[in-house]
């Protein structure tokens, strides 16, 4: 089984020790997506991507890999809709969701920030993992995205504000059960 991961710098692993300069050294193997996946991992994330590009990169990668008849799973951490100059990214989420469901590719979506969450009934929210709501004054009281959760839980961040290794390791602990459940259901 191969895990294909899509997203922005948080999935690429900007500022993590094995990818300290974003795009110059390749993607990190210490992101929560890579740690979930294990050795059979393909990362199509890249720093600064908007959700339209995230969806297209995942579709392109899956299209190539499906032809090789390999078992695939997809994990996507959606970015801020503003990167696509939009208020929401429902069209991009639905485009990728529909593609993955058409090809019976199991997937798990999350996001960097819960501003991605809308009330669109066409989005399969059962296939999402959101981080627990905050409990401290000033925290986000709704389920959160990875970045929100890490910042509000005061994880160490790099000089450019990316959560570092401890946040990724602890995120795996939270997501792992849902990821394993998805894999077991399909394979």
Going by pLDDT thresholds of 50, 70 and 90, the confidence category of residue 24 is low
State the pLDDT at residue 20: 65
Q: Is the pLDDT of residue 108 over 60?
A: yes
Q: Is pLDDT of 19 > 90?
A: no
pLDDT more than 90, % of the chain:
93
Domains contained in the chain, CATH given: 2-186 (3.40.50.1110)
CB contact at 8 A, 1 and 72: yes
Would you say residue 68 has pLDDT above 90? no
Q: What letter does residue 74 receive in the DSSP assignment?
A: E
Rounded mean pLDDT of 101-116?
97
Six-digit token string for 22? 């974003």
pLDDT digits (tens, 9 = 90+) for 123-141: 999 999 999 999 999 999 9
On the 0-12 / 13-18 / 19+ scale of CB atoms within 10 A, 77 is buried
Contact predicate 4/37, CB 8 Å: no
CA atoms in the 13 A half-sphere facing the CB of 38 = 8
Name the percent of the chain lying above pLDDT 70.
97
pTM over 0.75: yes
Where on the phi/psi map is residue 21: left (φ > 0), alpha (ψ -120 to 50), or beta?
A: alpha
The per-residue pLDDT for 26 is: 84
Instruction: Give the per-residue pLDDT at 25.
Output: 61
Q: CA-CA distance, 91 to 166, in Å (whole number)?
A: 33
Region 27-42: mean pLDDT is 96
Confidence at residue 22, expressed as pLDDT on a 0 to 100 scale: 53
């Amino acid at each position: 089984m191969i895990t294909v991961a899509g997203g922005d710098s948080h999935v690429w692993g900007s500022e993590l020790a094995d990818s300290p300069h974003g795009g110059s050294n390749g993607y990190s193997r210490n992101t929560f997506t890579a740690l979930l996946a294990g050795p059979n991992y393909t990362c199509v994330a890249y720093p600064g991507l908007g959700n339209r590009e995230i969806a297209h990169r995942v579709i392109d990668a899956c299209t190539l890999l499906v032809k090789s008849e390999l078992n695939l799973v997809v994990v996507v951490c959606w970015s801020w809709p503003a990167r696509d100059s939009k208020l929401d990214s429902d069209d991009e989420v639905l485009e990728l969701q529909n593609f993955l469901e058409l090809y019976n590719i199991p997937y798990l979506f999350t996001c960097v920030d819960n501003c991605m969450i809308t009330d669109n009934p066409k989005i399969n929210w059962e296939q999402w993992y959101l981080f627990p709501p905050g409990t401290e004054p000033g925290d986000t009281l709704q389920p959160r995205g990875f970045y929100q959760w890490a910042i509000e839980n005061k994880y160490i961040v790099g000089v450019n504000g990316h959560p570092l290794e401890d946040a990724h390791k602890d995120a795996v602990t939270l997501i792992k059960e849902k990821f394993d459940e998805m894999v077991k259901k399909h394979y």
